[in-house]
Chains A and B, each alone.
Chain A
Amino acid sequence: MVAKQSKWAAVLVLSLLVPVTAFAGATGGMSARAVVEKFQAELIEVMKNGKTLGYSGRYDKLVKPVSESHDLVKIARVVVGKEWEKLTSEQQDKLVDVFSKLSVASYAHNFKEYGGESFAFENEEQTTRGGVVVHYLFKVPDEKSHKFDYWLKEKGDSWRIINIIADGVSDLALRRSEYTTILQREGFDALIAKINEKIDNYSKL
């Protein structure tokens, strides 16, 4: 049981993190809170059918929800920091592409079953630069609840998740340090190779 809890730990901090695509679509005109809750509901639904769907089934089901609720382009840009500007357009596209796949793969791998988990809305507030942060508690039966804070920015006529802070650990900041370090130490190709390796592993685990 304890091991299971630790597992959740990990899952929470990381899986939500990964970014995904940005485009105006089914979430147009929705409030920030509605965007988050639509995504949460879709995620829980996939978890409930997780076993029967299998990895690839979960992956397919999650592509759209993740893509519609996150601002991938912005996240990808922020995550590689100033390195983004040093990439060619082709590299930027490649990064966004593998990043999308990694995000969905991570969700599909980590949210594979349902054990009564739920999200409870706490409150929401405006940020200084026109964003919104929506606070939730992620409730796991027989466990202490976990704080989940979703940061959203407006994109066109809809809101997009741009960062998730789980129990105080900011995915965006964490990823940013990780990705910029790899870019600086090992270069773009190594970064893409590492991301692809993770995607590959998720499909096999």
Chain B
Amino acid sequence: MVINKALGGGRPGIPLSSVTASFVLGAALALGGCASAGEKPAVAQANPADPYEDINRKIFAFNDKVDNYVAEPVANAYKWATPEFMQTGVANFFTNLKNINVVLNDLMQAKFQQSAADTGRFLINTTAGVGGLFDVAKHAGLEQNDEDFEQTLAVWGVPSGSYLVLPFLGPSTARGIPGSVFDTAANPATYLGGIGVPVSVVSMVNARANADGALKFIDEAALDPYVFTRESFLQWRQNLATDGKAEEKNDLADLEGDLLDEATASGDAAKPSAADAKPAEAKEVPEAAENKTAPEAQDAASAEPVKAAAVSLVPVASAQAGSTHSQTFQDAKSQYEKARFEYQLLQAEGAKKKARKTRRAK
């Protein structure tokens, strides 16, 4: 079963304890209900890593249907019918089998110390853990590591290539395909002969059941489940490939840098409709139309109209506060106005300085 490859064979070593892993894995399968997926053409390319977004969205929607009608009901039945200790045992069993592949990939990535620990983990759980049903090694301080061939390829310098959503398999990358082929080949569950099919089915059901919480979470939290899944998948894989060192590249500074660059690039065209859309406020805040970027970009006009605008915002805030939590949010809102006001003052100061500079230059 292809789903099994994605969740069982294709991503060996995913620790059930790993929040992100199960989360993203879950995403690989179910891909929670993006009704509008693929319905509208992309206006702009949101992520350069996803050049096939339109087709990917269609497959994503297809996988979602498969999950809704097949995988989820089966997984629910499994969870209903199986005692929890047995579910844990089954999950431990398949995780343990993947450790052979983890050790191979440890070695290919020259992680010799980790490969020794992972070998020990496999041996302990296979023997004392009764064929892997019990995770005894965890109590001996041996954590489950997560290594696979796609990570090895990353370590060897192979670029990840485009993001792909595969039918049944879910999220992957161009680099992930050879990765999955190798991992499947290195998983003993692939060679079980006559009992291979039922074992694969159990593995698939187990994987789907484990991902259940994560999938529900995506349903609850994601505004665009396709993008949510793609971004978390790519970040998660990057983080695994670099053993957690990827976060340095996620530096907020870079994000901010991008933002400021973009804002600068958009130039005077930025926020063109502000004055038109809010004529009353525009009268008080004529500089709003020029208010291009962040507090760091100081190119507003004079301070007086800004103050007036900030004051005028308070009744707007009051009018908007209508929920059961209106009072609290009104407080928060007025504090926000304060922050906004301070920010505008800053801008105004910047503008004054700029004006002085220009005068001096003249």
Q: List chain A positions with a Cβ less than 8 A from chain B.
A: 1-15, 20-25, 56, 59-60, 63-64, 67, 72-73, 77-78, 81-82, 85-91, 93-94, 96-97, 100-101, 106, 109, 127-129, 131, 143-144, 146-147, 149, 151, 153, 155-156, 162-163, 165-170, 172-174, 176-182, 184-186, 191, 194-195, 198, 201-202, 205
Interface string of B228-267 (1 = CB under 8 A from A): 1011100110111000101100111101111100110110
List the interface of chain B (C-beta within 8 A of A): 15-23, 26, 36, 40, 42-44, 46-47, 79, 84, 87-88, 91, 143-144, 209-214, 216-218, 220-224, 227-228, 230-232, 235-236, 238-240, 244, 246-247, 250-253, 255-259, 262-263, 265-266, 270-274, 277-278, 281, 285, 288, 292-294, 313, 316-317, 320, 323-325, 328-329, 332-333, 335-336, 338-340, 342-343
* Residues in chain A near residue B340, CB distance under 8 A: 73
CB of B223 within 8 A of CB of A178, answer yes
Q: Which residue of A lies closest to B235 (CB)?
A: A169
A2–B46 touching, CB < 8 Å? no
Instruction: Tell me the complex Cα distance, A12–B20, Å.
Output: 8
Contact of B320 with A97 in the complex, beta carbons under 8 Å:
yes
| B-chain residues with CB within 8 Å of residue A109 when the two chains form the complex | 220
Query: Whole-angstrom distance between the alpha carbons of A96 and B216 in the complex?
Result: 26
Q: Which listed residue (B15, B43, B246, B271) contacts A85, Cβ 8 A?
A: B271
State which of B44, B238, B292, B333 has its C-beta within 8 Å of the C-beta of A184: B44
Whether A73 contacts B336 in the complex (CB less than 8 A), given A7-B213, A101-B329, comes out as yes
Bound: A77/B336 CA distance, A: 13
- CB of A159 to closest CB in B, whole Å: 13
Expressed in whole angstroms, the Cα–Cα distance for A45 and B228 within the complex equals 30
Q: Is the CB of B91 within 8 A of A167?
A: no
CA distance A56 to B323 in the complex (A): 12
* Cα A90 to Cα B273 with chains together (Å): 11
Instruction: Name the B residues within 8 Å of A201 (CB-CB).
Output: 220
- Report yes or no: B232 in contact with A6, Cβ–Cβ below 8 A: no
Q: Are A3 and B209 in contact (CB under 8 A)?
A: yes
- Contacting residues, chain B, for A178 (C-beta < 8 A): 222-224, 227-228, 231
Write 8 A-B pairs (CB below 8 A) sorted by A numbering: A9-B217, A106-B221, A127-B252, A127-B253, A174-B232, A177-B231, A194-B224, A205-B220
